[in-house]
């Protein structure tokens, strides 16, 4: 779910550098609208997740009808709020903290490492010098390596 939340953040607040500038900027109408849109999307995804999960235990058509008419039972309303809040907090705010502290894979990943483990790493001998280039230009003659400096490798 984190990817969906990060996508919502990117379309409402921009890429990483734009978000850093927005965080540092004083509060304005633009900043308030962008933050409201982001959190609105986060809440919509969280509610959809909660509806899908609670829908396993309650007929989904009845659940939607009760939700839209505000006729939810106490137990159903509790579980919808619980899973909406859990998704919103875990995927929106905690993100990698969930992976670091709650996911078991982060604990034993280093134990599973051996000499034949494939690693995805940056090869500086091949990639440097970085820089944009035209398709028609000979980038080797310009002293450029294979890296186009698109930043896709560091976007997490």
- Each residue's pLDDT tens digit, 55-68: 999 999 999 999 99
pTM of the model: 0.68
- Each residue's pLDDT tens digit, 7-55: 999 999 999 999 999 999 999 999 999 999 999 999 999 999 999 999 9
- Ordered alpha helix ranges (H), 1-156: 2-13, 16-24, 29-54, 60-68, 74-87, 96-101, 105-108, 124-127
pLDDT class of 97 with cuts at 50, 70, 90: confident
The pLDDT, as a whole number, for residue 5 is: 94
- Each residue's pLDDT tens digit, 65-86: 999 999 999 999 999 999 999 9
Domain borders along the chain are: 2-110, 120-156
Higher pLDDT, 67 or 121: 67
- Maximum CA pair distance of the chain? 71
> What is the residue-averaged pLDDT of the chain?
88
Question: What are 111's two structure tokens?
Answer: 């134990």
Q: What percent of the chain has pLDDT over 90?
A: 57
The Cα–Cα gap between 89 and 92 comes to 5
């Amino acid at each position: 779910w984190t990817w969906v939340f990060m996508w919502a953040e990117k379309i409402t607040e921009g890429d990483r550098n734009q978000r850093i500038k927005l965080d540092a900027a004083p509060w304005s109408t633009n900043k308030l609208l962008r933050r409201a849109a982001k959190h609105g999307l986060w809440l919509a995804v969280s509610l959809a997740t909660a509806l899908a999960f609670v829908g396993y235990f309650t007929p989904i058509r009845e659940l939607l009808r009760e939700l839209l008419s505000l006729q939810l039972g106490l137990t159903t309303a509790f579980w919808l709020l619980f899973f909406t809040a859990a998704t919103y907090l875990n995927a929106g705010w905690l993100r990698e903290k969930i992976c670091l502290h709650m996911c078991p894979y982060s604990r034993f990943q280093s134990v599973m490492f051996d000499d034949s483990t494939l690693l995805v790493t940056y090869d500086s001998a091949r990639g440097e010098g970085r820089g944009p280039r035209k398709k028609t230009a000979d980038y080797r003659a310009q002293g450029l390596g294979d890296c186009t400096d698109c930043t896709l490798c560091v976007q997490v």
